[in-house]
Structure 1
């Protein structure tokens, strides 16, 4: 494990957002969804590709609050530009389980 400074951690913008749109992403190499996530007034709506099809159906994701990194550079995935990284943890099979908040908080709230 590599140790980082507090200043390094402060640079990472981990914010809460609400999923407002989910669609299939057939051009992705691994099964994935295209997500649109509302991160509140200051950040706005960002899109992301998420390999979460194993544990989540599209309808289950609508309105779900998730934690995302909103200050990484954009990344092209197939024909799609991902603007944020939605966070999660791999289960025992390597399938992603989303990280989320225990109770509703305002979109754009920063992890502190």
Structure 2
């Protein structure tokens, strides 16, 4: 598996939300639509990766503050049926990316 390829696929997914699924925890889902939309825009342009929040260099986790709340987002890798973990997250032919947006308190 290639860390560079995984990072590129994750960045492309976050920027377009194509090639995977986007989920929100129930508490985030309850926010007004305009707040959720802005939070997703922040996820899509997130670039504050550090060794602390991105130790493997895959750009699969982020944290930001917005509307007085701390949000987390994370990307998980599943097989195409979303039943099991992906055998190779660097291969988009066998991987479904799932991004979850949540409050830090949901984690």
Specify if TM > 0.5.
no
Whichever structure has more helix as a proportion of its residues is: 2
Q: Whose relative contact order is higher, 1 or 2, with alpha carbons under 8 Å and at least 6 apart?
A: 2
The alignment's TM-score, normalised by the length of structure 1, stands at 0.31
**Structure holding more strand per residue:** 1
TM-score normalised by structure 2 residue count:
0.32
